[in-house]
């Protein structure tokens, strides 16, 4: 078959068929956690002022430098398709005066995001994330609660080899000192860094810590670690978060090289991944952290926050790879076949009665021949077929045929729902 002229744009995909079953189940689980922990849903526009992200996420980050879909409106505004959810949520918090509500404000979303990435496994240009954000309070218990929620969502979806990576990247008090120490260490070794890290050294030196290039990894393994350069406040915050994680017996690993790709984080950063059979973790399923300066950067107020986001497509990919079935096939057990005009008219009404009673049923109201309807019923694998012929329609009756035994029973139409319920 020739390749169709029109296809989905690179890195973007249609969602149909079985994939919706995964999406629906993940949504259902996420929603139930949001409800239990008293999060309110929020949906922000797909487009935001580009500056929200350049300021919020940081000019020197990969997302802003390489991955934003930008457009200029006819009015001359620069807008960006949202690459992530936290900056828009904080914008909404400030815009709608949510600081006047009882704090903390807890918000969740299940939305689509856009990044102009090089498409590869688990990386798309349009993808879904679910996120949880707790805004307005600084307590370490909230960091732990965010990690706990994401961990348990993944667990409920069926993952069994989850690993939490956690680190503190300090705050505006201690990070600048650490940055200086790191830069001076790396400067002497810059000749051996990869080209990306050479650039990062000038623009975003902390990101060098999570470079995957072998030659950089070697240099990083001997670099000064931020955990030894945290101020008292950040050290205590981290200690408390870890103690709470211990109490909950969550399997975390303190990773001094975890920095994450967004500039707005302060103190806690974390990622959750699932180990694959080969013992190699694929990309993180969830990432997040604390962002106590973000509201201030966005021109607002002092407003601490902590949150995270899970990648829906990545979760689905891994569920499929691990053959974890997260949904049950619930197919109707009954098919309604009709022959003749009068029967067709009655059949339309019967289907309505089934819908009102919330009883699933297949039909093929456009078909006329009984043979083709029986063939379809057989293909669908139903247990019973209701047959409404012209004579039955006149007599206000219908036949119920057991597809296994071939036995048929006559039922008065007015008793149909009551009778059918006995069989289901």
Among 56, 170, 311, 389, binds ligand AMP (CB under 6 A): 311
Q: Which is nearer to ligand AMP, 291 or 384 (CB)?
A: 291
Would you count residue 284 as binding ligand AMP (CB under 6 A)?
yes
Q: Which is nearer to ligand AMP, 185 or 257 (CB)?
A: 257
SS3 content of the chain, % helix, strand, coil (to 5): 40, 20, 35
Q: How many residues bind ligand AMP (CB under 6 A)?
A: 18
Beta sheet of 305-311, edge-to-edge order: 40-41, 105-114, 126-135, 305-311, 286-290, 266-274, 162-168, 252-254
| CB-based contact 64:108 (threshold 8 Å) | no
The three-state secondary structure class of 410 is strand
Q: Which is nearer to ligand AMP, 270 or 384 (CB)?
A: 270
Closest distance to ligand AMP from the beta carbon of 220 (Å): 20
Would you count residue 127 as binding ligand AMP (CB under 6 A)?
yes
Beta strand 362-363 pairing with 334-338: parallel
Piece in contact with ligand AMP (CB under 6 A), picked from 124-132, 175-183, 190-198, 331-339: 124-132
| CB-based contact 269:259 (threshold 8 Å) | yes
Among 309, 339, 400, 416, binds ligand AMP (CB under 6 A): 309
Closest distance to ligand AMP from the beta carbon of 8 (Å): 14
Among 30, 164, 241, 286, binds ligand AMP (CB under 6 A): 286
Provide the 8-state DSSP code for 199.
Answer: H
Which ranges of 256-311 does DSSP label H, i.e. alpha helix?
A: 294-297
Would you count residue 313 as binding ligand AMP (CB under 6 A)?
yes
Q: Which is nearer to ligand AMP, 129 or 204 (CB)?
A: 129
Residue 40 φ/ψ, nearest 5 degrees: -100, 140
The three-state secondary structure class of 268 is strand
Cα angle: 274, vertex 276, 280; to 5 degrees: 100
Tokens 């915050």: give the residue.
237
Would you count residue 117 as binding ligand AMP (CB under 6 A)?
yes
Q: Which is nearer to ligand AMP, 154 or 388 (CB)?
A: 154
The footprint of ligand AMP (CB under 6 A) covers 84, 115, 117, 122-124, 127, 129, 261, 284-287, 309-311, 313-314
């Amino acid at each position: 078959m020739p390749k169709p002229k029109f296809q989905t744009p690179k890195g973007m995909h249609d969602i149909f068929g079985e994939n919706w079953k995964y999406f629906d189940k993940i949504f259902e689980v996420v929603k139930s956690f949001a409800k239990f922990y008293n999060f309110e849903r929020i949906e922000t526009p797909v487009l935001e002022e580009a500056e929200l992200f350049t300021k919020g996420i940081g000019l020197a980050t990969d997302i802003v430098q390489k991955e934003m879909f930008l457009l200029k409106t006819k009015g001359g505004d620069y807008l960006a398709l949202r690459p992530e959810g936290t900056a828009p949520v904080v914008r909404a918090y400030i815009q709608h005066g949510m600081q006047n509500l009882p704090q903390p404000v807890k918000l969740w979303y299940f939305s689509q995001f856009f990044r102009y990435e090089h498409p590869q496994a688990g990386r798309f240009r349009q993808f879904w994330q679910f996120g949880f954000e707790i805004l307005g309070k600084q307590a370490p218990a909230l960091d732990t609660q965010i990690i706990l929620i994401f961990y348990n969502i993944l667990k409920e979806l069926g993952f069994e080899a989850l690993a939490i990576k956690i680190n503190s990247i300090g705050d505006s008090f201690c990070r600048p000192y650490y940055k200086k120490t790191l830069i001076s260490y790396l400067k002497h070794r810059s000749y051996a860094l990869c080209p990306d890290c050479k650039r990062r050294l000038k623009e975003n030196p902390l990101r060098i810590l999570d470079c995957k290039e072998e030659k950089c990894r070697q240099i990083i393994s001997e670099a000064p670690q931020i955990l030894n350069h945290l101020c008292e406040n950040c050290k205590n915050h981290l200690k408390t978060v870890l103690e709470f994680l211990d109490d909950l017996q969550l399997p975390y690993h303190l990773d001094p090289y975890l920095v994450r790709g967004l500039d707005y984080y302060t103190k806690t950063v974390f990622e959750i991944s699932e180990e694959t059979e080969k013992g190699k973790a694929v990309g993180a399923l969830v990432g997040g952290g604390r962002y106590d300066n973000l509201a201030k950067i966005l021109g607002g107020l002092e407003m601490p926050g902590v949150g995270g986001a899970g990648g829906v497509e990545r979760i689905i990919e891994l569920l499929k790879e691990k053959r974890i079935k997260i949904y049950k096939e619930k197919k109707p057990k009954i098919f309604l076949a009709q022959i003749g005009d009068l029967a067709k008219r009655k059949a339309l009404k019967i289907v309505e009665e089934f819908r009102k009673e919330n009883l699933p049923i297949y039909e093929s109201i456009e078909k006329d021949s009984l043979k083709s309807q029986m063939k379809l019923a057989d293909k669908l694998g139903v247990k019973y077929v209701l047959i409404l012929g012209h004579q039955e329609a006149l007599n206000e009756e219908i036949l119920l045929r057991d597809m296994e035994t071939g036995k048929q029973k006559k039922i008065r139409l007015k008793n149909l729902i009551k009778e059918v319920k006995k069989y289901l």
